[in-house]
Chain A
């Protein structure tokens, strides 16, 4: 039974390269996967804003499209955290609640799927350069994912993994409506992350959530700071042959090529 791929709306419309990298990676690993083209959103924006009732239609749509899947995989920890919360949504019938509860443990963030379901830590990727990793709050604290992305990155040929998370592993400042309601504070939180990145001696940051990536990238660009934000999938999809002899910059161009194509 094929794995169903859930691609969050901001990857769908703002950074399709991340989705394509995920697709390439799954292809290379020989995973039988499908992308339900009529998927929409996990509903998290409404949920976080304090309108769980308006996350319900998204949840029900998800159940219709993904309910029969043996596994759901997503390059977004934050969306997976939302899927796992579906059983607690108000207004569900007992039958729906049971279906959501049964589906939740079959939904996986990409690195969790690769390491803990497929048992793969080495995926044949090559990425020359120094890369820092930033924990996303939902990945780290709701899903307990800290090890899997680091192991995958550490196994990438040529990649030197450094820590840019300060020991407190602070939030990037996105937080959904938070970023809109308190933009100055949100930006200060992003600045602290960018400063930690600079302190780690690199401008390349790997993340498991495109939302954190877009927040940091938007802030870095506004401030004219050097920043190269890459989703984990983009690094894992970079192939040895294509990257042979390439510099970090050329590798980045290879990934960006997906966006421009």
Chain B
């Protein structure tokens, strides 16, 4: 039996597959990014060494997380940041609201940040009567549609130019256009006014360097730079797993992150922020909120390695499930291979005391994986995603009681009894032949609805071998 989350995924992905335009958009967008990455990879002989270096850095960060977090807090404070820690999404939202209120800020610009999606910040701000505008083009588009991002680095990859042009025209942002440059220009005009009027800017953080107390932000459009430097108040929200030991650790990360995320040699903009600027130039107050939000529980789980994730999104691009179904089919904040692993811990209801989240193994998406290993092959942090998904699947099975084990108990018994195994095979061949074939097709609807049953041969391989090469039987 499938977990409820898998049933919901099946329903949503089937709907997505029936939408030819959506399907084509997903295939094209992910394929183009992968092609760019591949072309660039040929010129980057050091990519393997970078991957190893990143895996080592992330392992070290994981092992020393609490110490690094404490060091980061001290260094950030010394650099002039005000540092907070939030245990869960509700606490993080309350902190942001309190900071905005204290500053009298009613207009907020936001740069693309999955962690703010995770805590559903926009809804909380809107409920408090605060205007919040997404400034990343893709995120701006999904905000206009009232959707969540479909992809962690390309929020609107499920839409094409025609759809985006129609949306902009409908929202009065400019004349209908299918030209990406014209559309970008329309958004820019709209956003420029928002940037200038904003009293606060909210961003995530790609990394936080413990050694120096530095926030690191990578982007392509310049909006993160503006959000974090133009308004008088800057609030950055970072998961507690984002802390890196040293500034030098950025070296391999700044190469592989753009390569894997967008197929670029380097990000267009990299911001390293070391506290508020002198008066009169940029924000006078900077805050960093470190969010646990299920991360410590995840760190103690068998799937802890996923905390090394850099959120580059390349595992989504290469995953055949994501490439066909799109991010919304996963039903949570984080889609794709990493979403399967994060969903039980992050972006859901706050974890009850003791760790296991309300999302728990019972709603596991761990069946949404063909175990093809493509994501593990591409991951710049060398995270063994399919192995972790398989572990989650195993834990889900163990938790779902004897019922799910029954067929496998029988399977196991047969594999240890060659005669019984052969007999079962003979029954299978019989079931695939008339007159039973029609009945079998009806009994195997989930296979047969989409695929024709295989034809049954007259004899098994072993029986044929006994006739043709009897001397080879052992």
> Given contacts A9-B425, A177-B367, are A23 and B374 in contact (CB under 8 A)?
no
A14: B residues at CB distance < 8 A: 428-429, 432, 454-457
Taking the closest CB of chain B, its distance from the CB of A252, in whole angstroms, is: 15
A40: B residues at CB distance < 8 A: 414-418, 421
**A243 contacts B by Cβ under 8 Å:** no
A25: B residues at CB distance < 8 A: none
B449: A residues at CB distance < 8 A: 183
Instruction: For A38, give its contact among B9, B323, B418 (CB under 8 Å).
Output: B418
Report B383-401 residues with CB < 8 Å from chain A CB.
390, 393-398
Decide: B468 and A168 in contact? CB cutoff 8 A.
Answer: no
Taking the closest CB of chain B, its distance from the CB of A165, in whole angstroms, is: 12
Report the separation of the CA atoms of residues A15 and B409 in the bound assembly, to the nearest whole angstrom: 26
B145: A residues at CB distance < 8 A: none
Q: Per-residue CB proximity of A213-229 to B under 8 Å, as 1/0?
A: 01101110110000000
Instruction: For B394, give its contact among A20, A27, A50, A170 (CB under 8 Å).
Output: A50
B409: A residues at CB distance < 8 A: 54
Decide: A171 and B447 in contact? CB cutoff 8 A.
Answer: no
**B77 contacts A by Cβ under 8 Å:** no
B6: A residues at CB distance < 8 A: 181-182
Report B443-471 residues with CB < 8 Å from chain A CB.
446-447, 449-462, 464-466, 468-469
A259: B residues at CB distance < 8 A: 457-458
Instruction: For B459, give its contact among A9, A16, A54 (CB under 8 Å).
Output: A16
Instruction: For B474, give its contact among A34, A178, A214 (CB under 8 Å).
Output: A34
Decide: A187 and B370 in contact? CB cutoff 8 A.
Answer: no
> Given contacts A12-B462, A51-B408, are A137 and B373 in contact (CB under 8 A)?
yes
Instruction: For A171, give its contact among B9, B17, B320, B398 (CB under 8 Å).
Output: B320
**B10 contacts A by Cβ under 8 Å:** yes
> Given contacts A171-B374, A185-B324, A261-B464, are A37 and B413 in contact (CB under 8 A)?
no
CB nearest to B394 among chain A residues: A50
Taking the closest CB of chain A, its distance from the CB of B394, in whole angstroms, is: 4
Report the separation of the CA atoms of residues A40 and B421 in the bound assembly, to the nearest whole angstrom: 6
**B472 contacts A by Cβ under 8 Å:** yes
Report A15-70 residues with CB < 8 Å from chain B CB.
15-17, 19-20, 23, 27, 33-41, 43, 45-46, 48-58, 60-61
Decide: B412 and A11 in contact? CB cutoff 8 A.
Answer: no
A260: B residues at CB distance < 8 A: 458
Instruction: For A219, give its contact among B17, B370, B451, B468 (CB under 8 Å).
Output: B451
CB nearest to B30 among chain A residues: A168
CB nearest to A218 among chain B residues: B451
* Sample of 6 A–B contacts (CB below 8 Å): A48-B390, A50-B390, A173-B370, A179-B447, A181-B367, A189-B324
Interface residues of A (CB under 8 A from B): 2, 4-5, 7, 9, 11-17, 19-20, 23, 27, 33-41, 43, 45-46, 48-58, 60-61, 137-138, 140-142, 166-171, 173-190, 192, 214-215, 217-219, 221-222, 258-261
Q: A20-B464, A43-B415, A58-B412 are in contact. List 15 more A-B contacts (CB 8 A).
A: A12-B462, A23-B468, A37-B418, A37-B466, A41-B421, A43-B412, A45-B411, A52-B394, A54-B409, A57-B415, A178-B367, A181-B367, A192-B324, A222-B452, A258-B464
